[in-house]
Structure 1
Amino acid sequence: MKIVFLLLTCILYCLTGPGNGAKAQEVDYARYIMDTLSAPGLYGRGYVNFGSLQASQFITRQLYDHGVRPFSDSYAQEFSFPVNTFPGSMMLNISGRDLMPGVEFVVRADCPPVNGVFKIVILDSADFANHKKLEKILRKDLKHSLLSFDKSLLKGAASGLADSMLKTNYPGAGGYLLVNPGEKLIWSVSPGYRQLEYPIFEVLGEALPRKPENAAVTVDAEFYPAYRVMNIAGYLEGKKSPDSILVFTAHYDHLGMMGRNARFPGANDNASGVAMMLDLARHFAGSANRPDYSIAFLAFAGEEMGLKGSEYFAENPVFPLERIKFLINLDMVGTGSEGITVVNGTIFPEYYRRMVQINADNEYILKVAERGESCNSDHCPFYRRGVPSVFIYSMGKEHMEYHTLYDLSQRVPLSEYEDIFRLLRDFILTF
């Protein structure tokens, strides 16, 4: 793994060059970072074709070029977790019609390898309400069938019954075909810490034939019990109080590939947050801009798998967590027409009010909204250990893609990127 790691560093360095865009304005540098991290050659920064590894190496090179030091002899903190991957074929054909992976269907991330033809058995809300009828259907041999239903139509006990089917497969079905009545599918890799023995597909209702009868399925899945990844950590030494640390964090992983033809680029989530973090590192690296306190920059792996990287770092910190004065986690900051939200703003009102005042004095963005406690991003493992921590994301309807194939760099407008950057820059200088 280390040989491949070093080899990819050399290749990526030759392709990108040392510090390309370093003299550009903030937004141009951010665009360069987003373009690179969400490019096809990084495979969605997941666990197919070393996508996560390539991303970590690119970030390491940026920190090095900006003069950010590692905490030890390496920027990398290696660890591992179990993950299910989809490196090859991904096909769902329903009644002779091929559905587009990632657009018209997704497979749940714990899907096993599958190759076969299944009969589609449709269950409606009336079937779930009529226990005798449902039992009659489920008594049949269903190992070559996909049970299909729209879970959004099920309420109460019927919804619980459907959940039990999906969780335990007590009917012994060959798998499940969930109908989504919406306009768009959202994929998640968090269930992929294991492999089930049966597939679960989610299909757009409008993509289904009127009377679907059968499904031909091919899924190439490969499970890794301990996939090696790495957090990347570096710091800039403060001028007066170097032992106290202000921290910026951002996760660099994304969903990766769902088969060889469905790539989730993750430009806003979270190449934009990494871009902001690296841009702040570039700015504060200048001797004239260096604050009194040290600043750490932490790029986490495995956030989409359930905050794996930040949890591992918080359990195994490369510096004592007690040294952290304040931590800002950046996740999805590619918009901003409606301002930003500060998660944990109500928990740390002094810091929140400080940020609001800076914004009011300079009229940077529309608003700085506060939100309560939420463990929805990488600030959480630190917050749970007593570190003053907030999570900042931008708001705006100009880019609404989330966990889709369309979270592309060219679609992320960076509407208020420069002003959010200035707000964070000014906030750090208040310490």
Structure 2
Amino acid sequence: MPPAAAAERTTRTVHRLLLGAAGWSLVHLLVGLRWLLDPDSWPGFDDEGRAGLLAVLHRTPSAWTVTGLAATGLLLAVLGRYRPASRAVAVALAVQAGLLLAVSADVGVLTLLGYLCALVGPAAFLAVLVVGAVRDRRARPWLAAVLGLAVVGVVSGVLRPGTVGRLAGQLGDGFARHAGPPAHLGLVLVGAALFGTAAVLLRRSATGRCQACGRPAARWTEPAAALRWGRLATWAAVAGPLPYALLRLTWLTPWPLGMPEGGDLEPAMRLFGLGLGFAALGGAVLTAGLVRPWGEVWPGWVPVLRGRPVPVAFPVVAGGLVATVLLASTPGMVALAVGEVRDGDPMGWAMLLVFPTLPWGLALAAAVTGYALRRRGTCRSCGRGEPALPLRA
């Protein structure tokens, strides 16, 4: 792609981001006005375990907060469209993104994401593994191990149809009652991403750097340097979900740890613990792909895509999303831990060790950044930069 065409494409990307930010602001302006007219129209303020800003402010103050941020966001999106070289506008967009992150600082989005991964992740992984094992013999031992675990689950009662159906019904009822507030906070995070990304691109333009890649940049952004510190960050991020995964997997044993109060766990709850544990383990395995060759080329057991390059944006967007959710949930996790200690449970701080959202989120953000810097290659817009640095098998 010629440099002029690449630069024009980047400009169009900024315009789309600002258009998306304007649309987000309009939607939330209507939401805020609805809350002002009917403060009880949004359920979930009284849900237990919520510690975010909207829950603390409660109904009418929350409505004014959302309305004010939406109106400000709409104004900034218009200014960014017509004054793209203004440093002040770029800074204001960054501040807007930070305020939206503060609003979304709640454990609700993390809980919703974790439960969705627990429900969808194991089934999707099994489907891909079964299809891939038909054509790749290297995947067959892993498939046999997974099927062996499934047989054990059926014999123990955890994977029997009645247990699965009962769990599906319980989760469906729970989502119907409590998914609204976390879903809204997820939309707030989307707004933060829109404003934040637009701020970065406009800042680059205002400071004379390439809007597409940010070059010229510091030496730590070069591929070789990114591989060195990115590898350390990646293995630190891999360790992040392991304590939680091991805790949940104990629910399959006669000695479950961290179970809810009330005695023995029924099979449906044990199945849920299995799903959460394997979702966390799956996250650790996928994170390791950031510094492994199969994170650059789809492995042979992945149907249709096998042998093709992994698009850089795929792991970057997915990993960046998880890192953002982890960091946004950190204040809520700390607040819940403090609440447990105040209620007389000295082990309240243990949840921060079992689920270390802050160090895990920071490590994952650094790992994803290192992966992106290592694989981005020479910029098609400005021509700067070194070729991508592939890993050796």
| TM-score normalised over the length of structure 1 | 0.24
| TM-score normalised over the length of structure 2 | 0.26
- Counting strand residues as a fraction of each chain, which structure ranks higher? 1
Which structure is richer in relative contact order (CA contacts within 8 A, separation 6 or more)? 2
